[in-house]
């Protein structure tokens, strides 16, 4: 099913050719949802933009276009101001549209014509280091983008590139051998590994000898020492179990967990190849790739800074001591994703501080012939109420599991006030759904590159731009159907959308298929979040203005269909953000 926007755009294109207007090559013929619906539902400024190019009078051109435009079956037209063409969708068209939507399991969202193979690299915490709130942003954004891409018809491969190989293992192995608490490592492995890492880190600062011992443990591991290798394997295994507990709570999963260690055996030949290709050369004992000719495009506003960074900091692919590092592994990872998964695109959902690493990686990959589009989907910082990066009382980065616990607790308090008489078990389940949903929605309703303040009270409030507000909107829809005494067939027959409240809701519902694909333009899930808030608001206004259960006949049926569609779009849309909805609360 085409969206109204698509239909109008294609009619406009036909009209332009019928009116004998020669479009300059590549000239975009676009229609937009009107910002102010008092003037219509859609608007085109094509005539004005074209008139400038063709040196014509814009209003005259608009008149020619409108004369040739055949949209009688859909909309009324009006020319406004200097030459805007306004489209007001007819009441019958809304009725028809709503009828199509109620029969469409995809709720008006089309599938992409050319599905692409998209690899999404997200979450990727480091073993034995805390999974902190920085990883929360990656996990939530990456999961949501993956869900949306899949729904739109792309072939998505999700890969959790965990940091399971690296210098931290020198300390962890030393700690495992000397300081481990055998009970704790079984009970809460993530916590115990973290404790070991922190304790040894501290010891290293105090005693040079311990630092040396850790380095020895690391070298032994890298040289395949059986005991150290077994400890490493165990660390990774228990970490995965611990991480999976968090992912289960978050309802997040991955197709693959190809961590850094997966690429170990490929690094020697890779680095040889980099040297042979003339990309890497020795510098101060390390093997480095320097910024190449093929620098990022000129229009890039950061180019100047980037060149500077590049020449100041080459990408090191083999350190002076012979060890490979994070960057080397990432080059190998690109190769794997191209070869095994035939990637057209690879998205790295990683915080903004790693932008130099990704500039280097993308440049090197391009010079090695990578045709896939590589993109760093970066994001800012989560701030505390004081406007500074969120910290615990001890000054550490808060851990993800604690953040989730706090959110669930806050949601439980809100529920106690609002729905104290629900059974305890149901309240517990609801608190999880609302608490986790709140954390996700707060993340996904902000522009990803901005920092935001983590304010639990606001996040779990029923009023405001929050997850519980949307979840509650869904619940209100379900409540209407629970009160219904008769059987109603929710189909397209006899629908009439006439009153303003109904039209506003119908318009918002029909926009779902127009808005969702645009999330992928700049990879911004907040576009979907904002749409869902608009939908909930349109629903509440409709519900206040138009009686549903007290109405009769076709009016009643039409309104019930609008309610049902609201519920479906809310559920689907929140689902694409990774947020669940309750039946009551």
Is residue 289 a contact point for ligand ARG (CB under 6 A)?
no
Is residue 333 a contact point for ligand ARG (CB under 6 A)?
yes
- Coil, helix or strand for 159? strand
Of positions 140, 185, 350, 497, contacts ligand ARG by CB under 6 A:
350
Closest CA to 400 of 135, 61, 102, 163: 135
Least Å distance, CB 274 to ligand ARG, is: 18
Of positions 163, 384, 389, 575, contacts ligand ARG by CB under 6 A:
163
Q: In whole angstroms, give the CA distance from residue 35 to residue 33.
A: 6
Residue closer to ligand ARG, measured from CB, 125 or 437: 125
Structural tokens at position 469:
């507000």
Least Å distance, CB 246 to ligand ARG, is: 14
- Coil, helix or strand for 266? helix
Note whether 173 and 108 are within 8 A (CB).
no
Is residue 193 a contact point for ligand ARG (CB under 6 A)?
no
Of positions 126, 158, 445, 529, contacts ligand ARG by CB under 6 A:
126
CA 517, 519, 523 angle in degrees (round to 5)? 130
Three-state secondary structure string covering 192-247 = HHHHHHHHHHHHHHHCHHHHHHHHHHHHHHHCCCHHHHHHHHHHHHHHHHHHHHHH
Is residue 377 a contact point for ligand ARG (CB under 6 A)?
no
Least Å distance, CB 132 to ligand ARG, is: 9
Least Å distance, CB 162 to ligand ARG, is: 7
Of positions 154, 161, 211, 376, contacts ligand ARG by CB under 6 A:
161
Of positions 61, 85, 107, 121, contacts ligand ARG by CB under 6 A:
121
> What DSSP letter does each residue of 471-517 carry, written as one string?
HHHHHHHHHHHHH--S----SSTT----SHHHHHHHHHHHTHHHHGG
Find the helix packing angle between 168-178 and 189-206, rounded to 10°. Answer: 100
Query: What's the Cα-to-Cα distance from 539 to each of 46, 428, 477, 493, 543, rounded to whole Å?
Result: 32, 28, 9, 22, 6
Least Å distance, CB 170 to ligand ARG, is: 17
Residue closer to ligand ARG, measured from CB, 121 or 192: 121
Note whether 398 and 392 are within 8 A (CB).
yes
Residue range at the interface with ligand ARG (CB under 6 A); choices 118-126, 448-456, 474-482, 508-516: 118-126
CA 466, 469, 470 angle in degrees (round to 5)? 95
Q: In whole angstroms, give the CA distance from residue 330 to residue 333.
A: 5
Q: Which helix (H) or strand (E) holds 318?
A: strand 315-318
Residue range at the interface with ligand ARG (CB under 6 A); choices 121-129, 177-185, 427-435, 549-557: 121-129
Is residue 124 a contact point for ligand ARG (CB under 6 A)?
yes
Least Å distance, CB 459 to ligand ARG, is: 24
Residue range at the interface with ligand ARG (CB under 6 A); choices 119-127, 279-287, 394-402, 566-574: 119-127
Residue range at the interface with ligand ARG (CB under 6 A); choices 117-125, 226-234, 289-297, 473-481: 117-125
Of positions 348, 452, 472, 543, contacts ligand ARG by CB under 6 A:
348
CA 180, 188, 252 angle in degrees (round to 5)? 135
Is residue 378 a contact point for ligand ARG (CB under 6 A)?
no
Q: How many residues bind ligand ARG (CB under 6 A)?
A: 10
Is residue 330 a contact point for ligand ARG (CB under 6 A)?
yes
Residue closer to ligand ARG, measured from CB, 258 or 555: 258
Q: Which helix (H) or strand (E) holds 42?
A: strand 42-44
> Which parts of this chain interact with ligand ARG (CB under 6 A)?
121, 124-126, 161, 163, 330, 333, 348, 350
């Amino acid at each position: 099913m085409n969206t109204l926007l698509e239909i109008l755009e294609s009619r406009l294109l036909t009209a332009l050719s019928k009116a004998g207007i020669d479009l300059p090559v590549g000239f975009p013929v676009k229609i937009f949802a009107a910002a102010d619906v008092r003037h219509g539902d859609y608007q085109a400024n094509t005539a004005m933009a074209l008139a400038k190019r063709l040196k014509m009078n814009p209003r005259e051109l608009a008149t020619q276009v409108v004369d040739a435009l055949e949209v009688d079956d859909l909309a009324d037209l009006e020319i406004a101001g200097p030459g805007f063409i306004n489209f007001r969708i007819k009441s019958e068209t809304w009725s028809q549209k709503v009828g199509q939507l109620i029969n469409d399991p995809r709720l008006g969202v089309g599938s992409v014509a050319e599905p692409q193979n998209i690899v999404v690299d997200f979450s990727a915490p480091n073993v034995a280091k805390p999974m902190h709130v920085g990883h929360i942003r990656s996990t939530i954004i990456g999961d949501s983008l993956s869900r949306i891409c899949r729904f739109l018809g792309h072939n998505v491969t999700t890969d959790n590139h965990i940091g399971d190989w690296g210098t931290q293992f020198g300390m962890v192995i030393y700690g495992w051998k000397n300081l481990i608490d055998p009970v704790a490592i079984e009970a809460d492995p993530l916590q115990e590994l973290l404790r070991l890492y922190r304790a040894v880190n501290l010891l290293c600062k105090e005693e040079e000898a311990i630092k040396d011992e850790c380095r020895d443990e690391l070298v032994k591991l890298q040289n395949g020492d059986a005991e150290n290798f077994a400890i490493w394997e165990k660390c990774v295994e228990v970490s995965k179990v611990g991480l999976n507990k968090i992912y289960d709570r978050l309802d997040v999963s991955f197709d693959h967990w190809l961590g850094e260690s997966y690429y170990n055996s490929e690094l020697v030949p890779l680095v040889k190849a980099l040297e042979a290709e003339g990309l890497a050369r020795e510098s101060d004992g390390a093997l480095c790739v320097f910024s190449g000719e093929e620098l990022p495009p000129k229009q890039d506003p950061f180019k100047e800074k980037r060149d500077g960074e590049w020449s100041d900091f080459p990408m090191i692919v083999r350190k002076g001591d012979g060890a490979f590092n994070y960057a080397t592994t990432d080059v190998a990872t690109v190769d794997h994703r191209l070869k095994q998964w035939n990637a057209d695109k690879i998205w790295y959902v990683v915080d903004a501080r790693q932008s130099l690493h990704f500039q280097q990686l993308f440049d090197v990959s391009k010079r090695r012939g990578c045709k896939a589009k590589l993109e760093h989907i970066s994001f800012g910082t989560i701030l505390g109420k004081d406007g500074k990066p969120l910290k615990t009382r001890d000054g550490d980065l808060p851990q993800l599991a604690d953040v989730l616990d706090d959110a669930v607790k806050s949601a439980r308090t809100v529920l106690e006030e609002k729905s104290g008489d629900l059974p305890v078990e149901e309240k517990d389940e609801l608190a999880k759904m609302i608490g986790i949903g709140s954390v996700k929605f707060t993340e996904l309703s902000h522009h990803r590159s901005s920092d935001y303040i983590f304010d639990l009270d606001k996040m779990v409030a029923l009023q405001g731009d929050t997850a519980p507000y949307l979840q509650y909107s869904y619940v209100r829809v379900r409540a209407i159907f629970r009160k219904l005494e008769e059987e109603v067939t929710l189909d397209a027959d006899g629908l009439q959308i006439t009153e303003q409240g109904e039209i506003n809701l119908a318009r918002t519902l029909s926009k779902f298929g127009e808005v969702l694909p645009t999330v992928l333009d700049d990879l911004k899930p907040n576009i979907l979040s904002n749409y869902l808030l608009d939908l909930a608001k349109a629903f509440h206004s409709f519900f206040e203005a138009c009686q549903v259960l007290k109405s009769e006949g076709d009016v009643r049926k039409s309104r019930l269909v609008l309610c049902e569609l609201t519920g479906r779009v809310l559920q689907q849309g929140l689902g694409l953000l990774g947020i669940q909805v309750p039946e009551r609360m």
